[in-house]
Structure 1
Amino acid sequence: MLLQIKMFGTMLYYAEWNRTKKSGVSREEEAKLTYGMLFSIKSFVSKISPYDPREGFLCYKTNRYALHYLETPSGLKFVLYTDTAALNVKELLKQLYSKVWVEYVVRDPLWSPGTPVTSELFEVKLDEFIKQSSLYSIRNI
């Protein structure tokens, strides 16, 4: 499982759990490729989707992995790569945002919005949150 959190073009946080195959590029390059792809997919979806464009792009699946996406109204972007068998990831991302991000990053007086997260408490709580989720036991990418 791989998590990227980005805002205003800056990678705020990156984490991996049980990742079996590395991409062969740096984290920064991987993030740039991911967000370039997301920009294109979001544009494509907004033009062809028969649904309300405000619903936006939520995920896509290949035969090897799934990418799940949550963008907050403030422009914070959460990207989670999982196994294709993962369920209820949208809800998990919403809980990650409200129960972990808001509690341990937004409310941290030492964190400035738009800067990378360096809080050890956030890392511990995020790790606990992910390991307690049903996604953690699924075969990972």
Structure 2
Amino acid sequence: MFGLFWTLSNFCATMDPKDQNKPQLGTPRKIGQGCKFRSFTTNNYKCNFLEVPSGIKLVLNTHREAPDLTDVLQALYDDIFVEYVVKNPLYVPGQPFQ
């Protein structure tokens, strides 16, 4: 799954018509650099994607006719992950969380 999203976001950044300093296809990018890839749709499902500035990637599979869920994913990150993981005094940054 990581490779799929890395490739799609890298491709979108390379094809971004607004960016004059486009990275070459396949080269690593900094977090947030380039065009924002949000979702793709197949015949069976829609896969929504959000990468936050800290590098955390959130993926949500939905019905193929679901609307853009960027706001929902952002709320999941802000209201749940930040509140219950990042602000947890027992959490060590960079370590897996349970």
Scaled to the shorter chain, the TM-score interval is 0.7 to 0.9
Segments of 5+ residues of structure 1 without an aligned counterpart are 1-33, 119-141
38, 44, 49: which is aligned to 1:58? 38
Q: TM-score, normalised by structure 1?
A: 0.55
Aligned to 2:16: 49
Matched, 1:116 2:96: yes
Structure 1 or 2: larger helix share?
A: 1
After TM superposition, list the pairs within 5 Å mapping 1:48-127 onto structure 2. Answer: 48-51=15-18, 54-118=34-98
Measured on the aligned residues, the alpha-carbon RMSD in Å equals: 1.6
Q: TM-score, normalised by structure 2?
A: 0.76
**C-alpha distance in structure 1 between counterparts of 2:66 and 2:97, whole Å:** 26
Structure 1 or 2: larger strand share?
A: 1
Q: What fraction of aligned residue pairs are identical, expressed as a percent?
A: 36
Segments of 5+ residues of structure 2 without an aligned counterpart are 20-32
Task: State the SS of the aligned residue for 1:116.
Answer: coil
